[in-house]
Structure 1
Amino acid sequence: MWHTVVGAVGLVMGLLPHVLHHIGLLAGTAFVAGSGGTALFGALGLLASVPMLIRLYRRFGSWVAPAVGLLVFAAMFSLSAFVIGPAISGAEGDVTTPSPAPAVDHTDHPGH
């Protein structure tokens, strides 16, 4: 029974980003986009990993295993949020650079 509950929680956490964009055209996008959404899903992922971290502590009897687990979680979340996500969405960064102004051709002007 416990494995079913944990599996259901994992399923919901995995589907949550997809489902939240259906909240509304702007509300869902504003909710999950940018640093707010990244922080929200990072916190939810950390919260969802607490049972695993407790099991690691009980199994190894030391805080080293949960610390390594947290480091792996942070590394994988950072890779997903800051490398894979922008690569999939095509965004290179939050700040867009304006296109340069077109050069003015002075050769056709009389008096030059």
Structure 2
Amino acid sequence: MTGATGNVLFAVIGLIFSIPMLRRLHRRFDSWKAPALALGVFALMFSLSAFVIGPAISNGDQDRVPVRTVVPDEHEGHHG
């Protein structure tokens, strides 16, 4: 999964798996401020990972020259 579809899918999965933690934060602090802050941090870190770090390490350079493969007949020709 790449691109926007993969990012949305993993964001939703992360949100679903964070629900128990968010509920514990709400019970512990008896306020929605702590879960909202945690959700904001999650969104910030996910965005940083998906839109900055991921593209930086994925070799997103689309202008690369493709590697030329040698056809067996061409290869045998220079061994004469």
Q: Which interval holds the TM-score relative to the shorter structure?
A: 0.7 to 0.9
CA distance in 2, matches of 1:71, 1:91: 28
Task: Report 1 or 2 for greater relative contact order, CA contacts < 8 Å, sequence distance ≥ 6.
Answer: 2
The answer to whether residue 59 in structure 2 is matched with residue 59 in structure 1 is: no
CA distance in 1, matches of 2:60, 2:27: 42
- Measured after TM superposition, the shift of residue 90 of structure 1 is 1.9
- SS of residue paired to 1:90: coil
What is the aligned partner in structure 2 of residue 33 from structure 1? 2
What is the aligned partner in structure 2 of residue 87 from structure 1? 56
In structure 2, the gaps of 5 or more residues are 64-80
Residue-pair matches, total? 63
CA distance in 2, matches of 1:65, 1:80: 22
- SS of residue paired to 1:55: helix
- Measured after TM superposition, the shift of residue 82 of structure 1 is 0.2
CA deviation map 1:3-43 (0-9, x unaligned): xxxxxxxxxxxxxxxxxxxxxxxxxxxxx111000000000
Give the letter for the 1:58 counterpart.
R
TM-score normalised by length of structure 2: 0.74
Deviation >3 Å, runs of 4+: none
Write out aligned runs for 1:1-112 (5 A).
Answer: 32-91=1-60
CA distance in 2, matches of 1:51, 1:78: 21
- Measured after TM superposition, the shift of residue 91 of structure 1 is 1.6
TM-score normalised by length of structure 1: 0.54
